[in-house]
């Protein structure tokens, strides 16, 4: 292979159409009451859009394994950051904590 | 000079001697850019992480703040960025198939769309927010109708301005890079063999697009709009 992979214009146009469709979809579903699932759906759509951009526009689908590992590692480390942050914040009220904590940190008042 | 030219005679323009062949050079260039983008993920990741913490602590204030933003401008700007990503890949593709004029035109169009994004952000959104007294530190006014959650609304707007601001800064840097690329493309520097500057700048441009793909729902669509 002397030249880099040339992706057909049709593929780019289809990815583009899908991205525009999902933008409309995520805006549309925001007007439907789904409770806590509004956030879940919005983030799921954002992840799908991200994958479309990464795989086709950023050519990861046509790249070598080494490059895929680097691309994945960045997202994986972000996932660790988010997961451990949430594991802390969402479980603080599980164990009995001194009620005075809420007095020290005003933002935590509701959690204890 | 003559000796130098003879060294370069046996390979295509843009090839650097430390690489085995063009294929290896392409891979190394993209790999380097992806490592940079991984550090960018962490850079924005810190903001996203703190956003998660404060949205969890003050959900009501974040919902009030989010509802003060105009969904239509966020959605339009998402579409503008997606269009610019398409024109960017088309610019790279034009280089791959050896069309110089199309390359330059697609690059100019990508820059134009980037400028449209910045204009909408600056004029219709930031300026409007400032005039509505929603800019923390610049005369923010807590409205009585927000109730007890009102005191935390400035926190949402801090995140809003810092996240969209950092994103816009990346866009401006991107437009600067595109300006250099357009001049290089016009001089015929890129072709089917050598177009790595276009490719790796494209990676950067798409990365900035992805950041906005997440910022749009996280800032504009909190708690639904029903």
pLDDT digits (tens, 9 = 90+) for B4-40: 565 666 677 788 888 888 888 989 999 999 999 999 9
How sure is the predictor about B3, in pLDDT bands with cuts at 50, 70 and 90?
A: low
Query: How many domains would you assign to chain B?
Result: 1
Residue with tokens 């983030």: A43
Domain carrying residue B192: 21-220
Q: Which CATH number covers residue B184? A: 1.20.120.80
Residues A85, B206: C-beta atoms closer than 8 Å: no
Residues B88, A57: C-beta atoms closer than 8 Å: yes
Chain B residue with the nearest C-alpha to that of A71:
B34
- Residue A43: its chain B contacts at CB < 8 A? 217
Q: Where is pLDDT greater, at B190 or A106? A: B190
Given a cut of 50, the residues of chain A with pLDDT beneath it are 1-2, 112
- Does residue B2 sit within a domain? no
> For chain B, what percent of residues have pLDDT higher than 90?
83
pLDDT in tens, B65-119: 999 999 999 999 999 999 999 999 999 999 999 999 999 999 999 999 999 999 9
CA atoms within 13 Å, Cβ hemisphere of B2: 0
Q: Residue A33: CB partners within 8 Å, gap ≥ 6?
A: B224, B226
pLDDT in tens, B53-67: 999 999 999 999 999
- Residue B49: its chain A contacts at CB < 8 A? 81-82, 85
- Does residue B57 sit within a domain? yes
> Mutation test of the interface with chain B: which of A6, A57, A85, A109, choosing the one with the most B Cβ atoms within 10 A?
A57
Q: What is the DSSP letter of B218?
A: I
Of A4, A19, A43, the CB nearest to B26: A4
> Mutation test of the interface with chain B: which of A1, A7, A11, A23, choosing the one with the most B Cβ atoms within 10 A?
A23
- Residue B218: its chain A contacts at CB < 8 A? 42
Q: What is the pLDDT of residue B23?
A: 85
**Chain B nearest C-alpha distance from A110 (Å):** 8
**B66 alpha carbon, distance to own chain's centre:** 21
B50 closest CA partner among B33, B32, B39, B62: B62
pTM of the model: 0.89
- Does residue B1 sit within a domain? no
Write down the domain spans for chain A: 1-63, 65-112
Residues A70, B34: C-beta atoms closer than 8 Å: yes
pLDDT in tens, B148-169: 999 999 999 999 999 999 999 9
Q: What is the pLDDT of residue A1?
A: 37
Q: What is the pLDDT of residue B222?
A: 84
> For chain B, what percent of residues have pLDDT higher than 70?
95
* Start-to-end CA span in chain A (Å): 63
Q: Are B35 and A73 in contact (CB under 8 A)?
A: no
């Amino acid at each position: 292979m002397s030249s880099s992979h040339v992706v057909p214009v049709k593929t780019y146009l289809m990815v583009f159409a899908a991205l525009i469709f999902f933008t409309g979809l995520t805006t549309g579903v925001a007007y439907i009451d789904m409770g806590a699932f509004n956030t879940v759906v919005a983030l799921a759509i954002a992840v799908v859009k991200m994958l479309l951009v990464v795989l086709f526009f950023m050519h990861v689908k046509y790249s070598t394994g080494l490059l895929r590992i680097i691309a994945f590692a960045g997202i994986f480390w972000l996932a660790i950051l988010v997961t451990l942050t949430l594991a802390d914040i969402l479980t603080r009220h599980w164990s009995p904590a001194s009620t005075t904590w809420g007095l020290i940190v005003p933002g935590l008042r509701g959690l204890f | 000079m003559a000796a130098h030219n003879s060294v370069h005679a046996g390979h295509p323009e843009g090839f650097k001697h430390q690489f085995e062949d063009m294929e290896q050079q392409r891979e190394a260039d993209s790999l380097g850019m992806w490592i940079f983008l991984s550090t960018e993920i962490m850079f924005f990741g810190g903001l996203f992480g703190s956003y998660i913490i404060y949205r969890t602590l003050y959900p009501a204030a974040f919902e009030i703040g989010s509802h003060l933003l105009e969904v239509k401008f966020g959605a339009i700007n998402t579409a503008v960025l997606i269009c610019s990503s398409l024109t960017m890949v088309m610019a790279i593709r034009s280089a791959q198939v050896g069309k110089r004029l199309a390359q330059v035109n697609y690059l100019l169009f990508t820059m134009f769309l980037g400028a449209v994004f910045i204009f909408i952000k600056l004029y219709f959104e930031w300026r409007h927010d400032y005039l509505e007294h929603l800019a923390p530190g610049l005369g923010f006014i807590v409205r009585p109708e927000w109730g007890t959650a009102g005191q935390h609304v400035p926190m949402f707007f801090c995140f809003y301005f810092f996240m969209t601001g950092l994103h816009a800064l990346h866009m401006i840097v991107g437009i600067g890079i595109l300006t250099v690329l357009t001049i290089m493309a016009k001089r015929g520097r890129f072709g089917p063999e050598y177009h790595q500057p276009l490719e790796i700048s494209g990676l950067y441009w798409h990365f900035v697009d992805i950041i906005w793909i997440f910022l749009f729902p996280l800032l504009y669509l909190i708690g639904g709009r029903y």
